[in-house]
Each structure stands twice: as C-alpha cells, then as structure tokens.
Structure 1
Amino acid sequence: MLAMKLGIVGLGGWVTGAHIPALTDLGIKVDYCADIDEKRVKDLSQKTGCKGYLDYKEMLRNENPDLVLVAVPHSLHAIIALDAINNDANVYVEKPMATSFQEALTLVEASRKRNKILVVGHENRFNPAMLIAKKLIRGGEVGKIYHMRGFYIRQRGIPTSPTFIKKDLAKGGAVFDIGTHIIDLLLFLSDFPTPKSVTGKTYNAFSEDKTKFSAYPSPNLPNFKVEVEDFGSAFLKLGDEISAYVEVSWASYIKENKMEVVILGDNGGIHIDNGVLNFMRNIEDELFISSPLTQQKGSVYREVWRTVMESISKGFPEYPLCSAEQGAIGVAILESIYKSALEGREVKIDIPQWFLKQFQPRA
C-alpha cells in the first residue's frame, strides 16, 4: 500500500468509532490530527501517536500531509477541503461535500487544477446489497429504469450535538445528514442521470420533543431548541424519463427504523430493505423473487479506506468511491430540495454545460 502522510481534521465520534478502527486494521498510520477540542486532540494523540494540533491550518502549513480526512460540521466541509487541496493534499471529505452547489463546483475545479483526488464519504455504496444491485442493473437484468424511491427513516434519531442541529454549524438537518446518502445511492445505481427538477418539503416537527433524540453522539440531551428540519421529502425528475421519490427523517411515528431503496425497471425490480436485497422478474410468465447469499462482513470502512489508498496511487477515484463530480451532482439536488421547500414550488436544477461535458460518472 502506498506510503503517505495522513492528517485528520475533526475528531468526533464518527472518526474515533468508524475511521480509526478501519485505519488501524489496515495498518495505516495517522500522522497528524487537528480539532478545536483540546481533549479530543490529546486522546487521539495518545491512542495513535499522531501529532496533534488545535489549528488545522497550522497542521497543513507545518506538515504538508499527502491525504486529509475532513470530518467536521457540514458548514466547514468545503472550506477545509479547499484549504487542504490548495496545500497539495488529496482529500477524503465526509458527506455532504458542501452545503451549496457553488461550493461543490469550486472543490471540483480546485481538485482538477491541482491534480488531486477528492472523494466523498458515501460509504453505503460499499454495502454488498448495493454493489449487487449495481451489477444487476449494469448487466441489463432490470431493463430500462423508470422510477426509484429511497427511504431513510428513524423513530428516535435526532442527534444531540449542536454540530447537527444548530443552523449555523449544520446548515440543514435530516436532508443534509441522511438524505445525502439516499440521493447518492439512487444516482449511483442509475448511473447519474442529469437532475432536471425537484419538488421538496421539509418539517421541523419535533424541535422540542426530548423523547425523539438518539444517544448519538452523546447521551446528554441538548438544552436548546433544534434549529433544523427533522423530516424531508422530495419528488425528483432525473434524465429524460426517470422519476424518484425520497423520504428521510430523524424522528417519526413509524413501526421500525428503515433504510430502503427500490429500483423499478421494465424488465425487473430491486428492493433493498435494511441491507437485504430482493430481485423480482418474470420467468416463463411467472413472477419470481430471489435473494443473493452475500452478506455484509465487518465494517465497510475497511474497504472504503483500502479503495481510497488505491485510488491515490492510481490517480483517480476507484469504483465504487464517490468522486468530487458525483458528489457535486448530489449537492445540487440537496440544495434544490431546500430551495423548493422554502419557496413552495418545483425548482429546476441548472447544471452548467461545461460541467456536464466533462462529467464522467465512472460509477
């Protein structure tokens, strides 16, 4: 595996609970870390031996890392990722890569100009069910896709940290946090049809209901009101003939937590429900339902990081990583959902022609 200097900016629970175990398992050394929380820096430095900083800019300037993981509040993703790229680092930025399409385009242009790899943290692509679905679709088993839907809904899942629920830090709520995953999966599975328009709606139904919080990232409940939406839905028009419906919520009165993706084609259908894939098609005029034997083995982050390191050595994002260009398409949709919800109308999604001409899905 290619040897390189790795720095991490943002040392919250997702880094310590998901990324660090995967890096450790692969034998990838964390060389530098940065966070405004001195205790977090001290704890990770003691655990991994990395050199700690309270200022990420100082880390970039002094150490010149080859690769930087950006895992900070949504509002800072694009800012810090751009600083890292301009410091000649490759970047792995958590989702969403930005909170506006213009920010995302800036990152795309910067990574191209500097000839650096930028990948976005859409790890759900690595779920075996999603990869099998992708193979079925690519192999023509589903036929022509005409409609898709995706749900990511929770009973009691509002995060407790201000980084998720304060407007200035998060910029948005459930749509940015988990809606980004569903949007990415639908685009990934359908080979990134150009988004045309969206009609979106958001709700802040449980801003003061303490029973709807999760224990992540802390079991301590906040003492302030939630400032962002806990529910979002959207109807999308993609390409010339594909429609899609998306529904996400941090909290709802539902029977069970659910992450569901449905792909409907004129030759077959795919239904992925909480990681279990069913494939439906006609055989001899009879409807058959089948399921693969493949199951998830361990954390997907091990495979994500292995693929990230291979990508940097090869000079392009390896399948099935989310490239900067793919991430930008997702951000364009997310931003338009919020705009539609705010204005109460269908919103056209304008992707610049220069971007579309250069865009290679490579998914």
Structure 2
Amino acid sequence: MKNGKYGIGIIGVGGIARGSHIPGWKKLKDAEIIAVAYISEEKVKEVKEEFDIPYVFTDYKKLLEIEEIDIVDICTPNTTHFPITMDALKYRKHVLCEKPLAVKAEHVEKMMELSKKVDKKLMAAQHHRFRPESIALKKLIDKGYFGEIYHAISFALRRRDLPPRPTFIKKELSGGGPMFDIGVHILDLTYWFMGCPKVHSVKGEIYTKLAKRKDIKGLWGEWDRDAYDVEDFATGFIRFENGATVLLSCSFLANMEKISDFSTTLFGTEAGIKWPDGKIATEKEG
C-alpha cells in the first residue's frame, strides 16, 4: 500500500475486466490501478487510453515484478487461472480471481495451500454473496429462522443465452460449459447459505443436446458449432457429511418457459425460502 491506496494489477482485458472489474476498482478511493497485462498489445493500449492506466504489458510476469502492486485481479480464460494465480502468489501478491478458481479440484487445493504458505489472500470473484438480499438472508439463516436447512434446489438456467466467444465454448480455454460459467455462482451462493458443510459425495450428468444444432439460435449471436466441445446442460446431486443435499441444474440452452432462472430454494425444518424472490413458506405465527 502506498499513499493510503492499494496498488492493483489486472491480468486480462476482456469483457468482464473492461465492463466490471476495472470500473469497480476505479470507484474505490483506497485503490489505484497501476498496470494491466494481456497478450494483445493492441488491446492493452486501448485499455490504457480508455481508463488512464499508467503501465501496460503483454507479459503478465512483468506486471508481477512491480513492487507497488499489492493485489492482482485475474480476468483471463478459466484454464489459465491456476498458473497465473500460482505465479502471483509466488510474487507475494494478494489475488482476486474470476470464477471458477481453476478447472481441476487439485489445482484449487494447491492454490489454497500456497496462499496460506505465503500468507496472502486468495479470493474467487463470487459476487452474489455480497448482494443486499443475500446478506439479509444469510443473517436470517445464521439466527436460526429457518431451522435446519436440509435441502436446496438450485438453478442457473437460460433458454437461449449462450455466450458465443471461444473462451466459453472451447474446453481448452473454459474447462467446461454452463457449470463452469454460471453454475459455479449459484452453487457457491447455496453452499454459503447452507454453512459450507463438508462434501460427502457428488453425482452428475452433462449433456450437449442443443448447442450443435444449426436450427437453434442464441440471443447473444452465432457461435462456432464445430468448435463447441463443452456441455450445454449439466445437472448434479450433492450430499454433505451432515446429511444435507443440493440438487443443481444449469444450462446455456434449455427448452423452458422463462428466459432465465437463476435461483435457489432452501428447505428448512422451520421455514423455507426462494432466493432472490424472498418468498418465505412457514407455519410460524400462523
């Protein structure tokens, strides 16, 4: 920290960085973006001019060498999260990484181990925990209003919202389809609501039923059907060691009534609730 401000370095300048992360950091009085890095010199120069950022690099390790940078924000394709995070931690930087943290469980474990070893924070960009309705619900849960929450049904479903960029549809870049992109958000939120219990077992299935079809159109434009090699629908059942369970389904392309359904319904012994609607079902107080 210098002059009362955290120095920020951002790796990746795609849509999520330019649309959310950079504007978000710019709003903070105690943070200053010092540098950005991306493989395209043209793109980093655009970002430098658009957001008035002092330094830009095409090699992210040059960014990591800057001593004034305290926090590294990683906004690159999913499969690159692991190596970049490990490098950032080795340079003794705190890390905020876009979801998912990594595409393999063993990589997440190594990232967590290293963050503890070097005593630096590692955080996944799971922003739904910080929504006002999420914070309010979590307080009610922790006060015991719902009793024991023993089951949840969680959806991250879209009728025709498939992101067409290669970083979402090619496994070598994304690691997976909707489960890795939007499913992680609703799963993380549900897991947090339920108190983050230890996992006992997981069963799941993935499908690619619509994404290869030329008669299926997306609201976000056309995608390369030949290059598409991830699932377009995923479903799973999670059992925790405390006996609680979660049913999770997510999709980019689903034949459903609503345009989208991003929700989780919690079933407790004293009350139940659907997030984010806030509708409570209970026999309390009549």
Q: TM-score, normalised by structure 1?
A: 0.74
State yes or no: 1:187 paired with 2:188.
Answer: no
Partner of 1:213: 218
Alignment-mate amino acid for residue 36 of structure 1: I
Partner of 1:111: 115
Q: Partners in 2 of 1:247 and 1:203 — Cα distance? A: 11
Partner of 1:100: 104
Alignment-mate amino acid for residue 126 of structure 1: F
TM-aligned CA distance change 1:22 to 1:138, over 3 Å: same
The 8 Å contact of residues 206 and 212 in structure 1, kept in 2 or not, is answered as: no
Question: In terms of mean alpha carbon deviation, does 20-29 or 171-180 score higher?
Answer: 20-29
Partner of 2:25: 23
Q: Partners in 1 of 2:129 and 2:13 — Cα distance? A: 23
Partner of 2:262: 259
Q: Partners in 1 of 2:79 and 2:227 — Cα distance? A: 19
User: Map of 1:2-17 to 2, 5 A cutoff?
Assistant: 2-17=4-19
1:65 to 61, 66, 69: 69
Partner of 1:126: 130
C-alpha RMSD of the superposition: 1.7
Partner of 2:169: 165
Partner of 2:282: 281
Alignment-mate amino acid for residue 12 of structure 1: G
SS at match of 1:247: strand
Partner of 2:235: 233
TM-aligned CA distance change 1:234 to 1:37, over 3 Å: same
TM-fit CA distance, 1:282: 1.1
Alignment-mate amino acid for residue 150 of structure 1: S
TM-fit CA distance, 1:56: 0.4
The 8 Å contact of residues 174 and 249 in structure 1, kept in 2 or not, is answered as: yes
Partner of 1:290: none
TM-fit CA distance, 1:64: 5.7
Alignment-mate amino acid for residue 279 of structure 1: I
1:37 to 40, 48, 58: 40
The 8 Å contact of residues 78 and 102 in structure 2, kept in 1 or not, is answered as: yes
Q: Pick the structure with more helix per residue.
A: 1
Partner of 1:242: 244
Structure 1 spans left out of the alignment, 5+ residues: 287-363
Alpha-carbon deviations, 1:171-206, whole Å to 9, x = none? 111111111112111110011111111110100112
Alignment-mate amino acid for residue 14 of structure 1: I
TM-aligned CA distance change 1:114 to 1:240, over 3 Å: same
TM-aligned CA distance change 1:199 to 1:167, over 3 Å: same
Partner of 2:273: 270
Q: Partners in 1 of 2:66 and 2:270 — Cα distance? A: 57
Q: Which has the higher contact order (CA 8 A, sep 6+)?
A: 1
Matched residue count: 280
Q: Partners in 1 of 2:142 and 2:166 — Cα distance? A: 41
TM-fit CA distance, 1:7: 0.4
User: Map of 1:299-318 to 2, 5 A cutoff?
Assistant: none
Alpha-carbon deviations, 1:188-243, whole Å to 9, x = none? 0011111111110100112323544342xxx5643743110011001110122201
The 8 Å contact of residues 81 and 107 in structure 1, kept in 2 or not, is answered as: yes
The 8 Å contact of residues 211 and 253 in structure 2, kept in 1 or not, is answered as: no
Q: Partners in 2 of 1:148 and 1:6 — Cα distance? A: 37
Alpha-carbon deviations, 1:54-105, whole Å to 9, x = none? 1101221255621100011110111101100101110000111111111111
Alignment-mate amino acid for residue 45 of structure 2: K
The 8 Å contact of residues 151 and 246 in structure 1, kept in 2 or not, is answered as: yes
SS at match of 2:6: coil
Alpha-carbon deviations, 1:273-310, whole Å to 9, x = none? xx3211222134x3xxxxxxxxxxxxxxxxxxxxxxxx
Structure 1 runs, 4 residues or longer, greater than 6 Å off = none
Q: Identity rate of aligned residues, in percent?
A: 31
2:94 to 69, 90, 94: 90
SS at match of 1:43: helix
Alignment-mate amino acid for residue 238 of structure 1: F
State yes or no: 1:55 paired with 2:59.
Answer: yes
SS at match of 1:147: strand
Alignment-mate amino acid for residue 37 of structure 1: S
The 8 Å contact of residues 208 and 225 in structure 1, kept in 2 or not, is answered as: no
